[in-house]
Amino acid sequence: VLLNCGTKTAVSRKLILASSVIAGYRLRLSAILCHLRFSSSIAADMTYEHERRVAELAVQRATLLTKKVFHEKAKGELSKDDKSPVTKGDFGAQALIIQAISKNFPEDEIVAEEESSELRQDSALRSEIWDLVKDIKLNDQPSDELLGGSLENEEAMMAVIDQGKSLGGSKGRIWALDPIDGTKGFLRGGQYAVCLALIVDGDVKVGVIGCPNLPVDDSESLTVGIGSQQSDEDGKGVLFSAVQGEGAVSRPLTSAGLSPSKPIHMRPVPDVSHAVFCEGVEAAHSNQGDNAAVAQRLGISAPSVRLDSQAKYCSIARGAGDIYLRLPVKKDYQEKIWDHAAGDLLVREAGGQVTDIYGKRLDFTKGRTLKDNKGVVAAPVALQDQVIDAVQIVLNLK
Ligand SMILES: Nc1ncnc2c1ncn2[C@@H]1O[C@H](COP(=O)(O)O)[C@@H](O)[C@H]1OP(=O)(O)O
Ligand SMILES: [Mg+2]
């Protein structure tokens, strides 16, 4: 600009012109930046929506299989202490869910509870499971198509089951899957859950839990305890989900597409002595004596609500119960990541905190197990320190 200028006035005029051009560019640039920032904030809000939807539908579809197996058992088609319903449900649900994950997210790793060697040696069991798996569909074409259609044959089913062998770790996208959590509950007609979570670089980003035997009505769930046989009637079956930073929701399970969801929250507990605590039914999985001693120290006189599976995380996340205690029975037991990842996020997104007995957050970066944690303590954020304090006194940790 300056090279072509003649007089002083021309120079200053041209300088003014040049600076207004620059100002114009600046304005446009800031508008572009603003737009970019706005669209990236929308993008951030939408993050993991696809993963959540696929996970919700995959879990919902898998519960169709587990319920079918449960009905066969309930009709007496299987002997009472026959463990095969669990085996069929476990393998079948794992195959259906991994198939949906690997169709939609082929690069992702999967840490799942089962592997196919037992099936490879038992052709009768294999074909029974295949008969179930090949026919399970959501009664809603777009939802079914999103999950990527059916598996081709028994061999494909076993290959898909074995995609769950990842060793986990601190890097990358890793799904943690428990096809039937709470197998004892499943067998006795109590609570069980189909659980799926996406962990990214060690952080749980998405958590989905299907509880076919939990009442849709939250207020009824406190009455669901040991041996209550609340299974598989109308009004039962809840699908829970959470995405990090976006809260937690629940909706009734259906046999088709997703039903409308509602947000869920832990309930406020102004006085810890009024809290209701949940624990497992199985005395071998958590120390019920220590759990009771903690409750007593906190002044809680109400009896515990006993539920199998991650239904405990779900129950407190929706305010049907407040505290979940899982105090260790065996010193050397390492909790599995698929038993906790989805529930951990669900409770934290509903206003709770989840730690181990030392008050340390669950660490999902250590492989297939939570080897740096002991036990689980989940409570509303405001109560967590108080509960941990009581746990540490009871366990002589302080
Ligand atoms: N000693 C143990 N301590 C804690 N959890 C255990 C123990 N043994 C098994 N589990 C796991 O507890 C989970 C069920 O928990 P809950 O009692 O709350 O329903 C199951 O996934 C089961 O794993 P697995 O399936 O490998 O037996
Ligand atoms: Mg389990």
Residue 372, marked binder: no
Number of domains in the chain: 3
Residue 89 is encoded by which pair of tokens?
């449900």
Q: Quick check: 354 and 246 in contact, CB under 8 A? A: no
Query: Would the pLDDT of 18 be above 70?
Result: no
Protein residue with its CA nearest to atom 4 in ligand 1: 285
Q: Are residues 236 and 282 in the same domain?
A: no
Q: Are residues 204 and 74 in the same domain?
A: yes
Closest ligand 1 atom to residue 338 Cα is: 21
Q: Mind giving me the DSSP string for 192-247?
A: -EEEEEEEETTEEEEEEEEEEEEESSGGGGGG--TT----SSTTEEEEEEEETTS-
Protein residue with its CA nearest to atom 2 in ligand 1: 285
Q: Which range of residues forms the domain containing residue 324?
A: 272-394
Q: Are residues 104 and 12 in the same domain?
A: no
Q: Is 17 in the pocket of ligand 1 (CB under 6 A)?
A: no
Q: Are residues 178 and 283 in the same domain?
A: no
Q: Spot the catalytic one: 63, 66, 87, 183.
A: 183
HEC assignment per residue over 81-130: CCCHHHHHHHHHHHHHHHHHHHHHCCCCEEEECCCCHHHHCCHHHHHHHH
Q: Are residues 281 and 238 in the same domain?
A: no
CATH code at position 298: 3.40.190.80
Q: What is the pLDDT of residues 235-262, one digit of tens each?
A: 899 999 999 999 999 999 999 999 999 9
Query: Would the pLDDT of 1 be above 50?
Result: no
309 CA distance to ligand 2 middle (Å) = 7
Note the pLDDT of residue 21: 46
Query: Would the pLDDT of 15 be above 90?
Result: no
Q: Are residues 230 and 306 in the same domain?
A: no
Q: Is 331 in the pocket of ligand 1 (CB under 6 A)?
A: no
From 225, 240, 264, the end of a domain falls on: 264
333 CA distance to ligand 2 middle (Å) = 14
From 243, 264, 285, the end of a domain falls on: 264
Residue positions counted in the chain: 398
Q: What is the pLDDT of residues 282-315, one digit of tens each?
A: 999 999 999 999 999 999 999 999 999 999 999 9
CATH code at position 167: 3.30.540.10
Q: Are residues 365 and 246 in the same domain?
A: no
Q: What is the pLDDT of residues 44-59, one digit of tens each?
A: 456 999 999 999 999 9
Protein residue with its CA nearest to atom 1 in ligand 1: 285
d(CA 209, CA 87) in angstroms, rounded, equals 19
Lowest mean pLDDT among 28-42, 94-108, 347-361: 28-42
Q: How many CB atoms neighbour CB 320 within 10 A? A: 26
Share of the chain above pLDDT 90, in %: 77
Q: Is 282 in the pocket of ligand 1 (CB under 6 A)?
A: yes
ipTM, 2 dp = 0.98
d(CA 398, CA 394) in angstroms, rounded, equals 9
Q: Are residues 93 and 40 in the same domain?
A: no
Residue 4: pLDDT band by 50, 70, 90 thresholds?
Answer: very low
Q: What is the pLDDT of residues 27-40, one digit of tens each?
A: 454 444 444 444 44
From 231, 264, 297, the end of a domain falls on: 264
88 CA distance to ligand 1 middle (Å) = 19
Q: Given CA atoms 95, 80, 232, 276 in this order, what sign does their dihedral have? A: negative
The answer to whether residue 90 is catalytic is: yes
Q: Are residues 224 and 352 in the same domain?
A: no
Query: Would the pLDDT of 263 be above 80?
Result: yes
Q: What is the pLDDT of residues 369-390, one digit of tens each?
A: 999 999 999 999 999 999 999 9
Average pLDDT over residues 319-324: 97
The answer to whether residue 203 is catalytic is: no
Give the residue from 388, 228, 236, 386 showing the smallest Cα distance to 306: 228
Note the pLDDT of residue 348: 98
d(CA 173, CA 176) in angstroms, rounded, equals 10
Q: Are residues 35 and 55 in the same domain?
A: no
Question: Ligand 1: which of 83, 209, 282, 332 to mutate, most ligand atoms within 8 Å of CB?
Answer: 282
Phi and psi (nearest 5°) for 250?
-135, 160
Q: What is the pLDDT of residues 119-158, one digit of tens each?
A: 999 999 999 999 999 999 999 999 999 999 889 999 999 9
Lowest mean pLDDT among 66-75, 160-169, 191-200: 66-75
Q: Provide the mean pLDDT of the chain.
A: 88
Residue 339, marked binder: yes
Protein residue with its CA nearest to atom 13 in ligand 1: 182
The one-character DSSP state at 319 is: T
Position of tokens 């909706």?
Answer: 251
Q: Are residues 91 and 209 in the same domain?
A: yes
Q: Are residues 228 and 318 in the same domain?
A: no
336 CA distance to ligand 2 middle (Å) = 8
Q: Quick check: 344 and 311 in contact, CB under 8 A? A: no
